[in-house]
Structure 1
Amino acid sequence: MEKNPSFVKNGQYLSSPRSPPSDTINDTFYRRSRSRETMDDDWNHVQISHDVDQFITTLSTFDDKSNPPDVPDYVETFSRIVESRIDKYNQSEINRRFGKMMEEGQFFIEAVTRISKLANAFSKFQPSASTSPAFNQISMVLQRSMAFLEEEFRSLLEDGKNNSQSNSGNFFKNSSFNYKYQDRSNQGETSSGDFPGYSSEVVTKMNKIASTMISAGYETECCQVYSVSRRIAFNEQMKKLEFEKIDMDDVLKLQWETLEGEISRWIRVVQTCSGSLFPGEKKLGESIFTGHPLIRRSLFTNLARAVVIQLLDFAEAVSMAKRSAEKLFKFLDVYETLQNLILAINDSCSHECEHELTSEIAASGDRIGESAVSIFCDLENSIKSDVAKSPVPGGAVHPLTRYVMNYLKYACEYKDTLEKIFEKHAKLEKSVPMSSNLSSNDIEKESESPHNFETVAITTPFSIQIVTVVDLLDANLEAKSKLYRDPSLRYIFLMNNGRYILQKVKGSTEVGQLMGDTWCRRRSTVVRHFHKNYQRETWSRILSCLSHDGLQVNGKINKSVLKERFKIFTTTFDEIHRTQSTWVVSDEQLQSELQVSITAIIIPAYRSFLGRFRQYLDGGKVDKYIKYQPEDIETLIEGLFDGNPTSMGRRRT
């Protein structure tokens, strides 16, 4: 083998059949002393790039690592061209001229890539007097190139947003697109505008720089610039959302009204992160680090972890806040927000970190869920402890009934979430699906009632909890009904509240699905039962006045008894009307049903009695004993259950 074989001999290229003739390119030509500016204009970039590629290929296939080939002069010249580009790009007056030539920027990237390949190829040979100067020069040029690209990368990341004709960066100035890089949230309220806000052109520039730096072995520097810049940008977005980290102790000291506002703010922040910011970061990383999924995932993971930790600190503090019934819905909002955050993290982080982060978020959600379960179960204790000493005026719907049923209605709007929470709670308790306050004996007793668990459409831990609450409410209302001395008013009270409960169940799709049609039919039967009992207690006295029994003595009408009957009827009806006009039936349909049923009982009986026995009264004294005509009675019945107009208005359901 010839020692130190050269790839340029007597002005001729030995390894490239495509090389130009010796009279156009030779050693003397390469050694010409010219300024860097003149070099840029004279050299044929395409040809010299081709020659360098050929030399890189030769170095890569050269077997004798201890005896490297001679380095052609055009390698040194090529490195000088690259240096000259860096110098020009750093001069503002050149920037303006260079900004008009897209191919110059592309040439620089390709040239730096060749410098990197040259450095890598030289590094495989043992240092020698012939190669060390070239290698040192190439290494120096490579370092300058990487430093320049690093600064260019930083400039594009920090100043290249929302500007399709960005002045940031010193090359790739040409723009042929004005497409905003963005990822809008499909949740309108969580959109953060065009985020991250880079044009397609800028993203393409950053992709080329990142790929060049990574292939040259400068992955750490590239990732550090990207990570720092994106964290700063993300923190700016968080500030725009008015998110500030709050110490856990300070959160626990807040009054609920203030904490409620902070929770709402936190939810908006997390929703924006889940719906816009994180997806935007993921897409940006995928676009810049194409072909490097591990790097992209690692960068996103580091950013996401720093943000998520701050968000979870607040959620943890909320889970430890003092619990009360009115806080349930905010707790559920926090829980759902955390579930959406898990979805945003999935498929974006590395597998290991994804599991780590989602596990932390899920654990925080579980603690919020346990708080929600505790709050909901406390509703049972609230119902049991609500002991009234005086009845609601007029037998109206009790405030407790309104509160509980509206509470259940709003709670069931979170049905899917509560189903998950109670299911998980039941598994953690390793018990049969039941309320935390019920024993198996309790369930056996409940199964004997008309409202037992078998009437529920779908038996789940949460649906059983709902039925338990309604049954406890029924028991409480039954106890409260005994505060009324008048049995008729007692049934009006039970009818009002029973009808209200039924209407609330039917009026809510979610509650209705949980309770089921069978439960609703049985509840309707119970309300009708109260209705019949009311009629019996109230109007049986009126019907007894209209009885024919005892009116005849020896086959003749006893006028004195008849007169007394008319008198008792009038007195009794006046008393009922006076009293029950102050009673309240706020459900218009129920009120109408009551009035129609009363009319159907009283009017035919009264009309028949009047037609049969009126003739036996003294002609001139009929009006003395007959105060009302059937039409008058019907009109007065229509005025029942309106409440006392001077002290009680109609109540809304």
Structure 2
Amino acid sequence: MLVSETAKCGTTALPPPPRRGMSSLFFLSSNKNLSFSHYSLSSSFAGTTPSRTFSLSMMEENIENAEAIITKWDPSSSSYTKLTFVFQQSRKEAKEFLKAIKYLRSAMHALLGERLPSSKLVLAQNLMQVAMKRLEKEFYQILSTSRDQLDPESVSSRSSSRTCKFDDEEEGEARSEDELDIAGESITEVERVSVLAMSDLKSIADCMISSGYGKECAKIYKVIRKSMIDEGLYHLGIRRFKSSQIHKMDSEALENEINNWMKAAKIAVKTLFQGEKILCDHVFSASETIKESCFYQITKEGATTLFSFPELIVKNKKVPERIFGLMELHEAISDLWPETESVFSSESTSAIKLQALSLLLKLGDSVRSLLSDFESTIQKDSTKVLVPGGGIYPLTQKVMNYVTSLADYGIILSDILTDYPPPANSSFHETSFKSPMSDEGSTPAVSVHLAWLILVLLCKLDIKAEIYKDVGLAYLFLANNLHFIVEKVHHSPNLKLLLGEDWVAEHTKKVKLYASNYETTAWTKVLSSFPEKPFEMSSEMAKECFRRFNIAFEEAYRKQTSWIVEDVKLRDDLKVSIAQKLVPTYQEFYDTYLVMLTEEKNLELLVRFSPDDLSNYLSDLFHGTSTSVSSTASSSLPPRSCLPL
């Protein structure tokens, strides 16, 4: 037997008083000494013999039995025990080893309450130290050799309920050491190794924690498992960026980094961290404190690095296009929030959970700030250069492309804007805005905000239209731009859904109103060159009407061939509408007075246009190329794509 030199010599030297609770009184470190405060050597021998009970004899026997198997596996006793592992060599003997430690621990507690020579306790303490060194070695070896089988992805794919453990109950003892009966399921060899490894680790951890060596066990676990988590994050591309690095990235590079991060974050939270939590919870189920501490120490650095990337994006320079990446990050983190909240649910990991929650709030604030900045950009546009021909204003294209893209993120944007009040002066929606109602009967915040951006644009376009000196061209400009806006909404399913059919119908009516105002102002002079019906006038008056018509039509034609209507349908609708107002009236006047003027000299100069010519010339309008009537007018011109009347 291993008995300390103190016990052999019978000295009365006693170690310092204990610093821990009774359960860990003897097991403070690998060099711990037997510590107790309510015995003295003289009293330890008093009143023994007759009162020596049968149970004390059993305790001594337990110590002797434990000594046999523990000393056999003393890692410092021989080369064989240094290189061989009991859990690898014989699972049956490993179970006996753990039982021996349990009985040894029980014996030590029982002997504390009895008057027994201190040599027995010293022996038990020495045996416990040897046993703990062996378990430390076994624990490290299992963790090291089972890295592939215990990677977080494999662990997270299996429920912790599918693990077996050494059990002191009869049914546990009856289970075959070479077979696993897991809910009646057959498992692969890899799964078998993984399950056995988890079982062994838990058994060792339970034993060491019960023996007061939980910290030593946890220290080994943290070193090995943290390296696996760090390695996993490295392979996922998770690294710590500097703000200057983000600032130097162009849009494409930053977009790629954001996409890579979102894919990596999903794996990190749902696989790496969740798998590690499952394993950590299983192995250290005997101690809530150790379990939480281990998991926090293993994951805190990696999790902090993971969530630091979106924070840098939030802090980076604000440009309108950045909003889409921010919304994607917000969606990704929102989708991961249930797992994040579950994995980092303990008090020790609450800082990580709060970091993710804070990040969501910051991303939302940044998105709302960019929306506000974009609105200001529209309002502050002070460009006074008019679009030639009343075409589509560049700001119109920019805003509508932006708003259409925002609508594609409608669900995310709706979450971000739910508790965000509409613009202070957004009472417009009571009169100018109709949208599908939510279940609560109110207009969705995202619909209000997008409609508001469009309204701000329309107000800016009204101001731009005032710069045109020709009122007809100003109305054509408004018709062009509003039609472009309506078509953008109509052809964007998401934007149309958010704004609603009523919004589209309302603004389509406004396009027609602008078009009608254009026709009235741009063609009034031409139409007013005819007298009111019925036509009753002299030949001189008829000749004057033809002259006024020629001048007015040529002027209108010359101007409006330089005007632009880019949308084919709108362009054709305008031509048809003008032709319907102009050609029939001219046809009637032409038929009535041409006969009266047949004897007139230079008739072709007086009556320069036939009714068919008008339709041909109207087809030249709105293409943005100015053409003079005098250079093309001829009664002998062949028909040119006459418009239907």
- Is the pair's TM-score, using the shorter chain for normalization, greater than 0.5? yes
User: Aligned residue for 1:636?
Assistant: 617
Q: Could you tell me how far apart the structure 2 residues matched to 1:143 and 1:481 are? A: 87
Q: Could you tell me how far apart the structure 2 residues matched to 1:263 and 1:235 are? A: 20
Q: Is the Cα–Cα contact under 8 Å of residues 436 and 498 in structure 2 kept in the other structure?
A: no
Find the partner of 1:225 among 199, 220, 223.
Answer: 220
Find the partner of 1:71 among 61, 64, 68.
Answer: 61
Q: Is the Cα–Cα contact under 8 Å of residues 140 and 221 in structure 2 kept in the other structure?
A: no
Matched residue type, 2:97: V
Distance 1:571 1:586, change over 3 A: same
Residue 498 of structure 1: CA displacement? 0.8
Q: Could you tell me how far apart the structure 2 residues matched to 1:564 and 1:153 are? A: 110
Residue 281 of structure 1: CA displacement? 3.1
User: Aligned residue for 1:115?
Assistant: 100
Q: Could you tell me how far apart the structure 1 residues matched to 2:626 and 2:294 are? A: 71
Find the partner of 2:523 among 528, 539, 559.
Answer: 539
Secondary structure, counterpart of 2:61 in structure 1: coil
Q: Could you tell me how far apart the structure 2 residues matched to 1:297 and 1:130 are? A: 39
Matched residue type, 1:215: D
Q: Could you tell me how far apart the structure 2 residues matched to 1:228 and 1:91 are? A: 21
Distance 1:157 1:490, change over 3 A: same
Is structure 2 residue 574 aligned with structure 1 residue 582?
Answer: no
Q: Could you tell me how far apart the structure 1 residues matched to 2:620 and 2:288 are? A: 78
Q: Could you tell me how far apart the structure 1 residues matched to 2:614 and 2:528 are? A: 16
Range with greater deviation from structure 2 (121-130 or 199-208): 121-130
User: Aligned residue for 1:326?
Assistant: 321
Secondary structure, counterpart of 1:274 in structure 2: helix
Alignment deviations for residues 252-297 of structure 1 (CA, whole Å, 9 cap, x no partner):
8646657666555544443442354334434544666678887655
Q: Could you tell me how far apart the structure 1 residues matched to 2:189 and 2:276 are? A: 11
Q: Is the Cα–Cα contact under 8 Å of residues 561 and 622 in structure 2 kept in the other structure?
A: yes
Distance 1:278 1:586, change over 3 A: farther
Is structure 2 residue 196 aligned with structure 1 residue 208?
Answer: no
Matched residue type, 2:515: H
Q: Is the Cα–Cα contact under 8 Å of residues 109 and 212 in structure 1 kept in the other structure?
A: no
Q: Is the Cα–Cα contact under 8 Å of residues 146 and 213 in structure 1 kept in the other structure?
A: yes
Pairing of 1:370-519 with structure 2 (within 5 A): 370-424=365-419, 426=420, 433-435=421-423, 438=424, 442-443=425-426, 446=428, 450-452=431-433, 458-519=442-503
Alignment deviations for residues 135-172 of structure 1 (CA, whole Å, 9 cap, x no partner):
357425523430331221231244657899xxxxxxx9
Alignment deviations for residues 342-362 of structure 1 (CA, whole Å, 9 cap, x no partner):
333122234424644322322
Alignment deviations for residues 488-526 of structure 1 (CA, whole Å, 9 cap, x no partner):
111111001111122222333333333223222221121
Is structure 2 residue 541 aligned with structure 1 residue 561?
Answer: yes
What is the TM-score when the length of structure 1 is the normalising length? 0.70
Residue 594 of structure 1: CA displacement? 1.6
Is structure 2 residue 223 aligned with structure 1 residue 238?
Answer: no
Q: Is the Cα–Cα contact under 8 Å of residues 581 and 643 in structure 1 kept in the other structure?
A: yes
Distance 1:352 1:308, change over 3 A: same
Secondary structure, counterpart of 1:616 in structure 2: coil
Alignment deviations for residues 605-631 of structure 1 (CA, whole Å, 9 cap, x no partner):
333333333322316966444444444
User: Aligned residue for 1:361?
Assistant: 356
Distance 1:595 1:198, change over 3 A: farther
What is the TM-score when the length of structure 2 is the normalising length? 0.71
Q: Is the Cα–Cα contact under 8 Å of residues 499 and 527 in structure 1 kept in the other structure?
A: yes
User: Aligned residue for 2:45?
Assistant: none
Secondary structure, counterpart of 2:342 in structure 1: coil
Matched residue type, 2:238: F
Q: Is the Cα–Cα contact under 8 Å of residues 582 and 640 in structure 1 kept in the other structure?
A: yes
Q: Could you tell me how far apart the structure 1 residues matched to 2:291 and 2:216 are? A: 14
Q: Is the Cα–Cα contact under 8 Å of residues 456 and 515 in structure 1 kept in the other structure?
A: no
Is structure 2 residue 578 aligned with structure 1 residue 598?
Answer: yes
Matched residue type, 1:577: Y
Q: Is the Cα–Cα contact under 8 Å of residues 262 and 329 in structure 2 kept in the other structure?
A: yes
Q: Is the Cα–Cα contact under 8 Å of residues 400 and 488 in structure 2 kept in the other structure?
A: yes
Residue 573 of structure 1: CA displacement? 2.9
Number of positions where the alignment pairs a residue of Structure 1 with one of Structure 2: 534
Secondary structure, counterpart of 2:241 in structure 1: coil
Distance 1:157 1:70, change over 3 A: closer
User: Aligned residue for 1:523?
Assistant: 507
Residue 585 of structure 1: CA displacement? 1.5
Q: Could you tell me how far apart the structure 1 residues matched to 2:426 and 2:132 are? A: 78
Q: Is the Cα–Cα contact under 8 Å of residues 282 and 348 in structure 1 kept in the other structure?
A: yes
Is structure 2 residue 148 aligned with structure 1 residue 148?
Answer: no
Q: Could you tell me how far apart the structure 1 residues matched to 2:470 and 2:402 are? A: 31
* Percent identity between the two aligned chains: 22
Pairing of 1:14-413 with structure 2 (within 5 A): 68-71=58-61, 76-79=67-70, 105-124=90-109, 125-126=111-112, 128=117, 131=120, 135=124, 138-139=127-128, 141-158=130-147, 199-216=190-207, 217=209, 218-248=213-243, 250=244, 254=248, 257=251, 263=258, 265-285=260-280, 298-353=293-348, 355-413=350-408
Residue 400 of structure 1: CA displacement? 0.7
User: Aligned residue for 1:48?
Assistant: none
Matched residue type, 1:617: L
Matched residue type, 1:114: K
Distance 1:508 1:289, change over 3 A: farther
Range with greater deviation from structure 2 (262-271 or 586-595): 262-271
Q: CA RMSD in A?
A: 4.1
Range with greater deviation from structure 2 (283-292 or 211-220): 283-292
Residue 480 of structure 1: CA displacement? 0.3
Alignment deviations for residues 293-319 of structure 1 (CA, whole Å, 9 cap, x no partner):
876555444434322322344433433
Residue 199 of structure 1: CA displacement? 3.5
5+ long unaligned stretches in structure 2: 1-51, 155-175, 182-187, 628-645
Residue 471 of structure 1: CA displacement? 2.0
